[in-house]
Structure formats: structure tokens, C-alpha cells
């Protein structure tokens, strides 16, 4: 069966058509600037060149129509008709406490997702628009929602309750949810499989280090803690997000800089992280180039980032009372050997040692620790689209 995977943001939409038997990507692409002047679709059939088409896309429905037209195009399409799409898997950012796993989408589920809009005001409304547009254009095709938060619903209370008045949890569901769940689930499973071990008897720490970054502690296949919180702002220092800070800084900055709460949140989400520290870029490749030229703040930004990751790894070793494997994934985790080496250097006392040559790898499943390292460290590329396709197939074939 072919599964169309849709990841719909407020003004962009990423898609992949995956043959779920062979797990091959048949075509993929991106619609950009939806609802804005200059919208375009970038479409790439497997083995072919990227094709960019500028076309007005005032709404998500037009964008999805463009996706479907590209997939069925007589020249560059990969399927003859939409009947060859067996199901659609949608990435949904927030499922609140309601969804601990993926679910077939119907009106009741859509209402429940809508109820979570408060918890993810930037993401969930966009996800819903994408789902509804798809439903209109493909009314007979089953659709599945795969939630970023679902994998972390196994966290125990002691991990997800904040030190706040308890009624904020009961009244408003203020708690840690965690994100990147599809990636943490995929990578932890793949780590066990790659190492030839039973995930139900493993303690794994997954470091998803991309522009957005989070860590999870996966004990016997279940997430027991993760660094992101009620929103993706908590935890690691990220590309432009601050991660953990003293909450009093918000009041302090508001007074000093004359900012309202939106202004402060904008600074924490968009002007902070390694971008804020370096003043240079949120992209680690630029920081590396800056560091090579002796840019002190670029060097500092990388150090702060790595140190925070190391502290979280240390805390998750405590949370699980040990660790068998540490897996690095996402743009930075899969590609930046210097970041991996610096992070692991904090664990020399525990007998973690990296093999320098193995650690020079990029984007492939690989053990990067030495044979006598006390903990196996590996690079495991994430594949959220494939994970969504697998979940979708599993639900619609039931």
C-alpha cells in the first residue's frame, strides 16, 4: 500500500509518498509560502531531479491539490491515480493526555485535537487545516493522526508534574508532555534492532539534536523522561530557543527591555539558543565555520549547547539507574562528529570512549564507541516520515 505522509505547518507543508511494502520513498516535496505571495511547490520523484513550480496557493486545500496533481502528473508523477494512495498519515504535534498512540482520524478525534490547540497554538491549528483539506480532496481515503507527544505519555507522574500549584495540572493540564516522540520512538527501536538486543531489556538515551533538540530516557521501550515540556521551549539550548532558564529572567527582561509577555516569548523562542549566544547563526555549520575563524561567541555557543546535552544525559543515567546505549540522531546528531565527541568527553569517568574513526561517520547507522566502552554509543538516523507511514499502515490494516 502507498501511504501519503503529510506534515502541515502554518505556511508550509512537507509530504512523502511511501510504498509501505518496500518502505521506499516514491516521491517527496514541500509547499512553501502557503497563503503568502510567491508560493511554490518543490516536488522530487524518486531518482529524479527536484522540480520547482511557482503557483498561487492561497489556502492549504490548494497546496494539497498541487501535491496530488504532482503525484499523478502524466510526466513526472509516480502514480496513475489517487486510488493508488491507500491511506494518509498526518503528523499532529499535540495530542495532550488523550492520545498515547496513533489513531484513525474521525470527527471525534478532530474535536479532541482542537481541544489541544491551547497547548500548541502554533502547530495544532495548522495540522487540523491540513487534515481537513485532505479529507475534502480524498473523502474515501482513511487518515491517521500520529502525535509528537504520544510516545512520552508513558512518563511517570514524578517526571511530568511541575513544581507548580497542582490545580494548574487538574484545571488546565499544565504538565510536561515532550515532543519529537515519533523520532524518539523510531530511533530507540532501531537502536535495539541495530545492536541485536531486546528493547524490553534496554536503557537507551536518545539525543535528537537538530534545530529543535530534545533528549529522552527510554527504559525497556518506554519513554520515562524527556527534555521538552508543556511546549518545545523547555530543555536543551536549541537553534533559536533558550531551553531551560531561570523563570525570573522573564520578569527581569520584561522590565529592562519594556517587553510584554509576547515580546519575551518571542525572544525565548526565536532570538535565543545558539543563535542568541553567537549572534551569528542558528545553523551549526555556520558556527563551526565561525569557530574555525576564532569567533569566540561561536565557540561559546557550541560549548554551551554540548554542556547542556551532557548534563541531561547525566540526569537520565540517574533516572534509569544506568544506560546501555546512547543514540545520536537528527541533523546535528547524525552529522557533527565534533559535537558528539565533546558531549561524550563528559563521561570518561563512566568508561565511555569513542572510536575517532568510527565517529567521523555521517548519516548512517553506526556504533561510534570503542569495543571496550562501558556504554555503546551510536549514530542512528531518524526517519519520522517512515515511522508515520508504518503507524498509518498498522492502523488501517487492522
Q: Which stretch binds ligand AMP (CB under 6 A): 39-47, 69-77, 126-134, 327-335?
A: 327-335
- The contact mask relative to ligand AMP for 276-315 (x = CB under 6 A, - = no) is -------xxx------------------------------
Name residues whose C-beta falls within 8 Å of residue 44's C-beta, 6 or more positions apart in sequence: 27, 28, 29, 50, 51
Cell 513550480 locates to 53
Report how far apart the first and last C-alpha atoms of the chain are (Å, whole number): 14
148 given a catalytic annotation: yes
Closest to ligand AMP by CB, 32 vs 336, is 336
Q: Residue 336 interacts with ligand AMP (CB under 6 A)?
A: yes
Closest to ligand AMP by CB, 77 vs 331, is 331
- Of the candidate residues 331, 359, 375, 389, the single one contacting ligand AMP (CB under 6 A): 331
Q: Minimum distance from CB of 282 to ligand AMP (Å)?
A: 7
Q: Minimum distance from CB of 379 to ligand AMP (Å)?
A: 12
Q: Which stretch binds ligand AMP (CB under 6 A): 4-12, 118-126, 227-235, 329-337?
A: 329-337
Q: Residue 211 interacts with ligand AMP (CB under 6 A)?
A: yes
Closest to ligand AMP by CB, 53 vs 211, is 211
Closest to ligand AMP by CB, 130 vs 210, is 210
**321: its cell numbers:** 539507574
Name the residue among 88, 39, 79 with its Cα closest to residue 59. 39
Closest to ligand AMP by CB, 28 vs 175, is 28
- The contact mask relative to ligand AMP for 216-245 (x = CB under 6 A, - = no) is -----------------------x------
Closest to ligand AMP by CB, 89 vs 273, is 273
- The contact mask relative to ligand AMP for 158-187 (x = CB under 6 A, - = no) is ------------------------------
Q: Minimum distance from CB of 395 to ligand AMP (Å)?
A: 26
Q: Residue 327 interacts with ligand AMP (CB under 6 A)?
A: no
Q: Residue 9 interacts with ligand AMP (CB under 6 A)?
A: no
How far from 112 is each of 92, 107, 108, 124, 143, CA to CA, in Å? Answer: 12, 9, 6, 11, 15
Name residues whose C-beta falls within 8 Å of residue 148's C-beta, 6 or more positions apart in sequence: 91, 92, 93, 94, 95, 179, 180, 181, 182
Name the residue among 209, 212, 237 with its Cα closest to residue 300. 237
Question: Nearest-CB residue to ligand AMP?
Answer: 331
| Helix-then-strand count for the chain, H and E | 14, 14
Name the residue among 260, 231, 238 with its Cα closest to residue 120. 231
Measured at the alpha carbon of residue 93, what is the angle toward residues 158 and 396, in degrees to the nearest 5? 105
- The contact mask relative to ligand AMP for 75-114 (x = CB under 6 A, - = no) is ----------------------------------------
SS3 content of the chain, % helix, strand, coil (to 5): 40, 20, 40
The Cα 71–Cα 42 span in angstroms is 12
The Cα 211–Cα 46 span in angstroms is 26
The SS3 call for residue 327 is strand
Cell 509577555 locates to 261
Closest to ligand AMP by CB, 84 vs 283, is 283
Q: Minimum distance from CB of 213 to ligand AMP (Å)?
A: 8
Q: Minimum distance from CB of 285 to ligand AMP (Å)?
A: 4
The SS3 call for residue 252 is helix
Cell 535495539 locates to 192
List the catalytic residue out of 107, 118, 148, 171: 148
The Cα 1–Cα 43 span in angstroms is 21
Measured at the alpha carbon of residue 384, what is the angle toward residues 344 and 343, in degrees to the nearest 5? 10
Please give the radius of gyration of the chain, using alpha carbons only, rounded to the nearest integer: 21
Q: Residue 369 interacts with ligand AMP (CB under 6 A)?
A: no
Closest to ligand AMP by CB, 6 vs 330, is 330
Q: Residue 332 interacts with ligand AMP (CB under 6 A)?
A: yes
Measured at the alpha carbon of residue 104, what is the angle toward residues 66 and 62, in degrees to the nearest 5? 15
- Of the candidate residues 29, 89, 145, 210, the single one contacting ligand AMP (CB under 6 A): 210
Pairing of strands 103-104, 85-92: unpaired
Number of residues that bind ligand AMP (CB under 6 A): 11
Residues serving a catalytic function are 148
State the residues that interact with ligand AMP by CB under 6 A: 210-211, 239, 283-285, 330-332, 335-336
Amino acid at each position: 500500500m502507498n501511504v501519503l505522509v503529510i506534515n502541515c505547518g502554518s505556511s508550509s507543508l512537507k509530504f512523502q509518498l511511501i510504498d509501505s511494502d518496500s518502505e521506499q520513498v516514491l516521491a517527496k516535496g514541500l509547499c512553501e509560502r502557503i497563503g503568502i505571495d510567491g508560493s511554490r511547490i518543490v516536488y522530487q520523484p524518486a531518482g529524479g531531479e527536484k522540480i520547482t513550480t511557482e503557483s498561487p496557493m492561497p489556502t492549504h486545500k490548494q497546496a494539497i491539490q498541487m501535491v496530488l496533481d504532482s503525484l499523478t502528473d502524466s510526466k513526472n508523477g509516480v502514480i496513475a491515480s489517487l486510488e493508488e494512495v491507500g491511506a494518509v498519515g498526518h503528523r499532529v504535534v499535540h495530542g495532550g493526555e488523550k492520545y498515547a498512540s496513533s489513531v484513525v482520524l474521525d470527527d471525534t478525534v478532530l474535536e479532541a485535537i482542537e481541544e489541544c490547540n491551547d497547548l500548541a497554538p502554533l502547530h495544532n491549528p495548522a495540522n487540523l487545516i491540513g487534515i481537513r483539506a485532505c479529507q475534502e480532496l480524498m473523502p474515501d481515503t482513511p487518515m491517521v493522526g500520529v502525535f509528537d507527544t504520544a510516545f512520552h505519555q508513558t512518563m511517570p507522574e514524578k517526571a511530568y508534574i511541575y513544581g507548580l500549584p497542582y490545580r494548574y495540572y487538574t484545571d488546565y493540564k499544565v504538565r510536561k508532555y515532550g515532543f519529537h516522540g515519533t523520532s524518539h520512538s523510531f530511533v530507540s527501536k532501531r537502536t535495539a534492532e541495530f545492536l541485536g538486543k531486546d528493547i524490553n531489556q534496554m536503557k537507551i538515551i536518545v539525543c535528537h539534536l537538530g534545530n529543535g533538540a530534545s533528549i529522552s530516557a527510554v527504559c525497556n521501550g518506554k519513554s520515562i523522561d524527556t527534555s521538552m515540556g508543556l511546549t518545545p521551549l523547555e530543555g536543551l539550548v536549541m537553534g533559536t530557543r533558550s531551553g531551560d532558564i531561570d523563570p525570573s529572567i522573564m520578569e527581569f527582561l520584561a522590565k529592562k527591555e519594556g517587553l510584554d509577555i509576547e515580546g519575551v516569548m518571542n525572544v525565548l523562542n526565536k532570538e535565543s539558543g545558539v543563535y542568541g549566544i553567537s549572534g551569528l547563526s542558528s545553523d551549526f555549520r555556520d558556527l563551526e565555520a565561525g569557530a574555525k575563524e576564532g569567533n569566540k561567541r561561536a565557540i561559546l555557543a557550541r560549548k554551551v549547547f554540548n554542556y547542556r546535552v551532557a548534563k541531561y544525559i547525566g540526569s537520565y543515567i540517574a533516572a534509569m539507574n544506568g544506560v546501555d546505549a546512547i543514540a545520536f540522531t537528527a541533523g546535528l546528531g547524525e552529522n557533527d562528529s565534533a559535537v558528539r565527541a565533546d558531549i561524550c568527553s563528559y563521561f570518561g569517568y563512566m568508561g565511555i570512549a569513542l572510536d575517532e574513526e568510527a565517529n567521523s561517520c555521517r548519516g548512517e547507522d553506526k556504533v561510534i564507541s570503542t569495543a571496550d566502552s562501558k556504554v555503546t554509543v551510536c549514530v542512528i538516523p531518524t526517519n519520522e516520515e517512515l515511522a508515520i507511514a508504518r503507524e498509518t499502515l498498522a492502523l488501517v490494516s487492522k
